Structures are given as C-alpha cells and as structure tokens.
Structure 1
Amino acid sequence: MTLLIDKFNGHILKYTGDGLLAYFPEPNDIGKVDNAINCAYLMRSVVDHVINPLLAEHDYPLLYFRIGLDYGKAIVKKIGSTGIKSFGDIFGDTVNIAVKIQELAEDNQILVGASVAHMAHTYWRKRLTKFKLPKNWKFKDKVRKRPYLVYYLKDDF
C-alpha cells in the first residue's frame, strides 16, 4: 500500500498497528482529493483482485480494510526538541474526522467526508452515495450547522 500512496503523491505519516495514516499534499486542492480517492480505489482493487485471490489460493486468511478520507487544513509538524529523538505528526480537525469516518466503515469499504465529496472530480462524485450516519455522530458541518455528511464510494462500476 505504501507504494501505491507514493505513486499518487501521498506521504505516509505513520503506521498505526496494522493500518497507516497518509496525507496527499499536492499538486492543488482538487488534485489532492482526486489523488487520495484514486489511491484508495486502487488499494481496494489490489486487495480484491490480486492479494485476496492469492491468499485464498493458498488457504490463508483474507485481508480486510477500511478507508476513511477527509479534506481540510492540517498541520504536519515535527514533535520534540532539537538533538532529541523526535517524530512527525499531523494535527487538525480534518485528521480527527478522517479517523472517525474510517471507524464508521465496514469491511472493504471506502468512506469520504462531505468536503472530499465537494472537492472531488465529477467522475468520483457520481460514484458516491450518502452514508447513513449513526445517531451518536457528533461532527457538525461548521458552515451549515448540521451533521457532517459522509459518503461511501460504490465499487460496482
């Protein structure tokens, strides 16, 4: 997956157990969103059509994934003092919401926040369907003052 992220101009910030956190800082706002969606879609395709068939062929357990995407401002910063061991991290509401979106996803599902849906190329927007949010979803659209919408990327096209 790290190779795919790199091919779409993404950067892996950190590994989180059996997952990872990546961000897509270039080339421009719409390009960032499209790169992230293209990468997520290709990741799903590789797992579904390459990795899992090989695992099944050898009677190994299949891989499952959940992907959550959001778009917005975030700060990537090195934590720690000069001369001391330090690491990079990413901060901002966007990161928090992306993680919460990912937690909503079912196995092998890609979910995206409303800001991603708004910024995505028409090709991808046509493939997004509104996700039914749980009653305890507390994230609000800061402009419209209503629940922050989430969409899933259909895989049947």
Structure 2
Amino acid sequence: MKKKMRNWEELDADGRGRHRFDFVIQVLSTDDETQTARIQLKPDPRRYTTTTENGRRSYLDRFLKILIPEEIVHEMMCQHLIGLPISYDPPSIQSASDYANSRRMVLTEETTGGSYIPPSETSQIQKGLFAGSSADFVSFISVDIVGSTSLRQEFGERFDKSYKYFLRELITSVGHFKGSVLNVTGDGFIAYIDLPGFTTQCDNTVDLGLTLLHVLKESINPALKQADLPTLKVRIGADVGKAHKRSVDVPTTNFRSFDIGSSALNRAVKIEQMAGEDQFLIGQALYELLHVGWLERCEVVPLDGRSLGALDYEVYRIS
C-alpha cells in the first residue's frame, strides 16, 4: 500500500514532534592543538531527494513520505546544534557475527562439562529504570520463547538447562547495547534502553534485537544441540515512547513493588505476540526514528493496528 504524503509537523504516537534527519558527514579539517574539527553535513541521498515548488526548496524523505522545507532544516540546526552536547553510546561489540562465533566456542565447551567463560567485551551493569517517576523516551524490547509450555512439559529439567543458558547469554547481550532488563517473564524477558541521545537509543534497540536472534541461532542453539539439550526459537517485539513508574503497596500483606505505565511497553509486548518464529518486529514510533541504514532493512507487515491503539499504526519486520 502506497503511503500518503505527511506533514513534517505531524506528532508521534505519544503526541510529540520528534524528528530525525540523517546526514552524510565529511571531515574537512582537524586541529589537534585545539581539539576541534570542521565538518560538512549533507542530507543522506539514500533517504532524501530534493524538490522545488513555487520557489521553495524542500527535502522529501523517501521512507516516511514527509516533505521538509529547507529553511526548516536550517532553523532546526541553528536551534539545536549550537552548544548541544554530543551523546554517543555505541554497543560494546563491533560485529554480531564475530561475537556469536566466540560465544559458540565457549558455550560448546561449557555445556559439555567446561567452566563458564564471560565475554571479553564489557557489558553494562544492570541499572534501575530512570531516576525519577517518569521518562520521556524509553525503548522496550519483549522477548518470548515460542512453545515454551510444551517444551517444558516434554523436556523438563533439560529445558530448564537450555533456559539458563538462554537467559544468561541474551541478557548479557542486552548489556552490550547499553540496556537493562525490566523483568524475566518465565519464558523470556522484557528489556529496555534509556539513553540521553534518542538517535543512538533507537539504533541500539534494533541492533540489539537482531543481535539477540543472531546469538540464539549461531551461539546458543548449536551448543545446546551438541549437548543434546532442546534448542529454542523466539519472537521479539520493540517500540519506543513515554513511561512512568508507579509504586504498588498493599499494607495488609506488606507487598511492595512498582509497575510501569507505558503505551510503548504495551505495544512492544503486543507486537512481539504478532511475530513469527525467530522474527523481530518493531512499531511505527521506533521505525520513524531509525537511521536510513536500518530503514533499508525494514518491511511493513500487514497487521490490524487496532490492538495497538490505532487502526493505521504500522508494524515492520526488520532483518
């Protein structure tokens, strides 16, 4: 279905006007003494084409079908780049393939009687979900083992062993992408990423989801198979948005905990439930803030958006 042209001022699922603009960066010169650099930014040609109507030059976003006037781009750069601190939190692993290969070797040894060897890469330590009672922008990633109930009934303790390796290795991967785990669900987990820079956060989110699939298929399952343990398949869903933390206190039983109120979290879980085996789906709010390199790997999935709160809310498969 062909997308209709949208207004650049259109708000996102949480009622905000958050936008991303991708540039190709060329370094013109550097000065070691002053530790400064001159760079040139050009709109990424993979994402934008230029058009002129009634003497007004604009950039057409090929993916989001948004027409952005050139003067608006200049205005946003002047407003946001002057004095803006640069926030960049890349993953601690450079290559998912290389990482998966290294983990497969040590897991194969461990599942056949060896000792646990942690990755050489540093994984972020688990942190609490945002400092205050709310956060304006959080990524949620829901991971679920397909057919876990039948697997547990069929394999019993052997499934529990597989699940132990599954949780340890994938939660370690979450830390590599500056994320933490919100909770373990019994047949999977829900993770989140909350970073100062929303562009890096969104890119890390999709990179993490794909890496989880890679580590499962290329590291965990081969080791489980060699140890005659049940292999696993997963569904993964992700989306971004606001979240707030609510305290839950029951004085009569002395129960104390907290709950997360977030449409983004609800969407991530529902999107995960829509996914097929070893499939990673993302919501429209996340899709619209990704770098063009990820957008090129996305394909819209024909699903009924009513369960996500909006009939026209789109879901994308990323590979």
Q: TM-score, normalised by structure 2?
A: 0.43
Pick one of 141, 151, 154 that aligns with 2:316. 151
Larger Rg: 1 or 2?
2
Deviation, 1:59, is: 3.0
Distance 1:77 1:6 in 2: 25
- After superposition, the Cα gap between the structure-2 partners of 1:55 and 1:91, relative to the gap in structure 1 and judged at 3 Å, is same
Corresponding residue number in structure 1 for 2:171: 2
Runs of 4+ residues deviating >6 angstroms: none
Pick one of 73, 83, 90 that aligns with 2:260. 90
Output the amino acid matched with 2:285: S
Deviation, 1:125, is: 0.9
Which ranges in structure 1 are unaligned for 5 or more consecutive residues? none
Distance 1:81 1:26 in 2: 32
Distance 2:199 2:184 in 1: 26
Pick one of 40, 46, 58 that aligns with 2:209. 40
The count of corresponding residues between Structure 1 and Structure 2 is 148
- After superposition, the Cα gap between the structure-2 partners of 1:23 and 1:76, relative to the gap in structure 1 and judged at 3 Å, is farther
1:15 aligns with 2:180: no
Contact preservation (8 Å) 2:182, 2:191: yes
Corresponding residue number in structure 2 for 1:62: 231
For residues 109-120 of structure 1, the aligned pairs below 5 Å read: 109-120=279-290
Which ranges in structure 2 are unaligned for 5 or more consecutive residues? 1-169
Deviations 1:68-100 (A, max 9, x none): 000111123443389x55334321111111111
What value does the CA root-mean-square deviation take over the aligned residues?
2.0
Distance 2:232 2:217 in 1: 9
For residues 107-146 of structure 1, the aligned pairs below 5 Å read: 107-134=277-304, 137-141=306-310, 146=311
Percent of residue pairs bearing the same amino acid type: 30
Corresponding residue number in structure 1 for 2:240: 71
- After superposition, the Cα gap between the structure-2 partners of 1:3 and 1:28, relative to the gap in structure 1 and judged at 3 Å, is same
Structure (1 or 2) with the greater strand fraction = 2
SS of alignment partner, residue 116 of structure 1? helix
